[in-house]
């Protein structure tokens, strides 16, 4: 404790002595020589600094009828990779950090909305030669205790989201099998991920996001070509959000992650992964429902005599196409796994003519069907999620 207190006293002496020597002009200086140089309260008067691991040190000055704001222009000297931003807390001050690109476009803000609270963000940039940063007081001032702002260079890591990724255009690519770390920082943060697959292979996959107990995640998966999406949200902090299964050759997929962070424990970490499934289990072919299949045009094809693994949940509707090549006497259908029986199953043709409809029935027999294409439709209007197995034969 004595060493830490002595260090702070020495730091303050150095800061005060340097502050008296600085000219109030915009110069290019290394971090190790810098505190903020007033007046730097706009983009046009921003202090310019060269990237290093030394901090920027400044004060939240007392300004009549206003709060202090300091602008900095950061030159990364061609360092392309990952960077972590940290602002120390200052007693009596609620601080806010905002990051902009070189064209002064807002990228994101950090504000924990607490007096004397630090602002910390794991943020990753793929390629930015320059950034603007504003450090402001939204409440209070302190001309004795300085703030210390650091930008620490990290090794670029394919296991961590690359920021900014708060739009479809800037989405972080994620491949099957990667367990990628992400951060909901600030609390309003939204992260986008673009699913990347080997073009020579076809995958049955699902997306899984896991968080600590302080984060309630919401997962949205969209096929941006078809304009369709589904939201997965169990509305509880911690645990997993797991999507239905999709086919890599069926769409162009984007994943959107957002969440709510507990006030008592501001730990923003989550993990996201793309899980793939084998088409063989115990040397037997297995087929999976492929979302989105909630219309006739997007239906999943069923193969006679083969199991189809599907998922049903509240407000979900699944269409399966069945091709009858010859006029048949009987069509047998079985649905196993939906334990509470709160589902509806129906059989329609290409013109949506209904041949059968029942609720909670797991075994169905339909007689005397002409050849052609038919659709088995499974829907659910009751809370709960079930993995089911669909199977059909003809006689």
The Cα 190–Cα 222 span in angstroms is 15
pLDDT, tens digit, 9 for 90 and up, residues 170-204: 888 888 888 888 888 777 789 999 988 877 788 89
Mean pLDDT of 343-361: 92
- Encoding tokens for residue 173? 């690519």
Angle 352-354-359 from CA coordinates, rounded to 5°: 125
Q: Are residues 207 and 149 in the same domain?
A: no
Task: Give the domain extent around 384.
Answer: 281-394
Q: How many domains does the chain have?
A: 3
293 with 235, same domain: the answer is: no
135 vs 86: CA distance, rounded Å = 11
- What pLDDT shows up at residue 273? 94
Answer yes or no: is 194 within a domain: yes
Query: pLDDT, tens digit, for every residue of 243-257?
Result: 989 988 888 899 999
Q: Which of 154, 179, 212 is the last residue of a domain?
A: 154
Asked if residue 225 has pLDDT above 90, the reply is: no
Give the confidence band of 23 by pLDDT, cuts at 50, 70, 90.
very low
CA distance 349 to 334: 19
**Is 159 among the domain residues?**
no
Using alpha carbons, select from 343, 375, 382, 376 the residue that is nearest to residue 359.
343
Same domain, residue pair 134 and 189: no
Max mean pLDDT among 25-39, 184-198, 276-290, 311-325 falls in: 311-325
pLDDT at 214 over 80: no
Clarify whether residues 296 and 198 are in a common domain. Answer: no
Confidence band of 22 (pLDDT split at 50, 70, 90) = very low
The verdict on 8 and 75 lying in the same domain is yes
Residue 125: per-residue pLDDT = 55
pLDDT of residue 34: 56
Same domain? For 8 and 119 the reply is yes
Check pLDDT > 90 for residue 13. no
Beta bridge partners of 136: 69, 96
Q: Which CATH number do you get for residue 318?
A: 2.60.120.380
Give yes or no: residues 26 and 65 share one domain: yes
Residues 219 and 246 in one domain: yes
Can you tell me the mean pLDDT for 293-318? 90
Query: Do 8 and 146 share a domain, yes or no?
Result: yes
Residues near 195 by beta carbon (within 8 Å), at least 6 away in sequence: 173, 174, 205, 207, 248, 253, 254, 255, 274
- Above 70 in pLDDT, residue 4? no
Dihedral (C-alpha) 357, 362, 367, 373: value to the nearest 10 degrees? 70
């Amino acid at each position: 404790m004595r060493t830490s207190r002595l260090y702070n006293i020495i730091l303050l002496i150095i800061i005060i002595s340097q502050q008296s020597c600085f000219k109030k002009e915009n110069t290019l200086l290394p971090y190790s020589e810098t505190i903020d140089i007033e007046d730097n309260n706009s983009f046009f008067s921003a202090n310019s600094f060269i990237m290093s691991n030394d901090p920027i040190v400044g004060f939240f000055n007392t300004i009549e009828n206003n709060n202090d704001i300091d602008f900095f222009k950061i030159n990364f000297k061609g360092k392309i990779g990952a960077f972590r931003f940290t602002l120390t807390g200052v007693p009596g001050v609620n601080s806010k950090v905002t990051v902009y690109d070189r064209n002064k476009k807002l990228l994101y803000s950090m504000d924990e909305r607490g007096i004397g609270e630090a602002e910390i963000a794991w943020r990753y940039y793929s390629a930015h030669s320059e950034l603007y940063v504003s450090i402001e007081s939204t409440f209070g001032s302190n001309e004795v205790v300085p703030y210390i702002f650091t930008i620490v260079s990290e090794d670029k890591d394919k296991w961590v989201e690359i920021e900014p990724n708060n739009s479809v255009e800037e989405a972080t690519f994620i491949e099957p099998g990667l367990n990628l770390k992400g951060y909901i920082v600030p609390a309003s943060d939204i992260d986008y991920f673009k699913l990347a697959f080997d073009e020579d292979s076809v995958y049955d996959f699902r997306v899984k996001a896991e968080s600590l107990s302080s984060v309630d995640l919401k997962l949205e998966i969209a096929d941006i070509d078809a304009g369709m999406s589904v939201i997965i949200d169990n509305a509880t902090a911690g645990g997993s959000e797991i999507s239905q299964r999709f086919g890599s050759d069926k769409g162009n997929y984007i994943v959107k992650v957002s969440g709510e962070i507990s006030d008592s424990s501001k730990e923003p970490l989550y993990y996201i992964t793309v899980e793939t499934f084998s088409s063989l289990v115990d040397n037997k072919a297995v087929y999976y429902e492929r979302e989105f299949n909630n219309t006739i045009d997007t239906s999943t094809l069923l193969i006679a005599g083969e199991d189809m693994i599907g998922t049903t949940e509240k407000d979900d509707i699944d269409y399966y196409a069945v091709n009858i090549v010859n006029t048949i006497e009987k069509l047998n259908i079985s649905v196993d796994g939906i334990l509470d029986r709160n589902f509806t199953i129906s059989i329609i043709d290409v013109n949506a003519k209904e041949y059968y409809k029942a609720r909670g029935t797991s075994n169905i027999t339909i007689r005397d069907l002409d050849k052609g294409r038919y659709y088995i439709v499974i829907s659910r209007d009751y809370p709960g999620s079930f993995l089911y197995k669909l199977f059909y034969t003809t006689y």
